[in-house]
Amino acid sequence: MDSGVATPTLGSSGWTTPMIATSGYDTPMMGIESSIARLSLESEPKQAFRFFDLPSELRIRIYELALVLPRTIDLDPTNFRRISPRLEMFLTCHRMHEEAYRVFYGQHTFRLFPIHGRFFHTKQPLLARLPPRYRAAITTVELRLGPGWGKPPKCWNTSPRLGLADCSHLRQLKIFVEIDPSDDIFRGFRVADNFYTVFSKDLVQQICEQVPSLKEVQFDAYPAVQKSAPLMQELLAEVKSRGKKITWGPLRGWDEHREDAFGRIGLEDAMALMKL
């Protein structure tokens, strides 16, 4: 009688693997496969996440987390690894591009003229390479003074090709002074005593003229640069004459009414006093 259970069979060398009966019951393996099949049929298809149903404030916060970096944006060999993957978000759809590019270009500081050696003498600074709509979204730019003080690159100019006239939402100019070539230590190496001072002042003057929306100029410098140095004094006078708000960057520690020890006497003199 067929009982529906496995019965052992006798082979030539003794008892062998039980024969599996095929009537009455499923095997454990067949039961698992049928359960998986039923689950796959019964499970509902996944729904796409409706990102644009989120409030605009929350969407902007997500863009900030995904796009905003703590460093100044400049021409740099590492951009393909550090920045390019983030910008792939722009390719998602037209609406996301319209929302995301305003966050990326509006919340970063963009350097006007490159300082990396690979791009130092480029014909097109970063700003000149951007489309006008991206330039219009920029709110902050940085001017780094000091590199190339003996012979500034030809691209360090504010010709119409740079695109400053398109920066309609530009509000802040950050000026960072690395060195002041008018210091006596550069005597014999500079073109003239006031060459770089005049060059830097002209840059700031032309930026202010081409960007009427500019409201604030922030000054910062390395510790060896004094606020009373000729370069700093010329820049401060130029900015004040144009009625721009002057603020101070975090590295140097200057403020309107006092200077720290390094700001008054310079880093070298401060170190000498410490030895005494």
What's the pLDDT tens digit per position in 48-68? 889 999 999 999 999 999 999
Tell me the DSSP string of 179-217: --TTSGGGTTTSSSTTHHHHHHHHHHHHHHHH-TT--EE
170-224 residue pLDDT tens? 999 999 999 988 876 677 666 777 889 999 999 999 999 999 999 999 999 999 8
Q: What is the pTM of this model?
A: 0.76
What was the pLDDT predicted at 38? 65
Q: Which of 70-74, 224-228, 245-249 shows the lowest per-residue confidence on average (mean pLDDT)?
A: 224-228
What was the pLDDT predicted at 194? 84
Q: What is d(CA 102, CA 63) in angstroms, rounded to the nearest whole number?
A: 10
pLDDT averaged over the chain?
83
What was the pLDDT predicted at 49? 85
Give ∠ CA 141-112-122 in degrees, rounded to 5. 160
Closest CA to 144 of 116, 118, 185, 167: 116
Give ∠ CA 65-68-71 in degrees, rounded to 5. 140
Give ∠ CA 190-196-199 in degrees, rounded to 5. 145
Helix (H/G/I), strand (E/B), else coil: 85: helix
Q: What is d(CA 29, CA 6) in angstroms, rounded to the nearest whole number?
A: 15
Residue spans of the domains in the chain: they are 108-275
Residue at token pair 């170190």: 271
Q: Angle between the 195-210 and 230-241 helix axes, to the nearest 10 degrees?
A: 20
- Range list of β-strands (E), the chain: 10-11, 14-15, 109-111, 140-145, 172-177, 216-221, 245-248
Residue 33 has pLDDT above 50, yes or no: yes
Return the percentage of the chain with pLDDT > 90, whole number.
64
Q: What is d(CA 162, CA 65) in angstroms, rounded to the nearest whole number?
A: 30
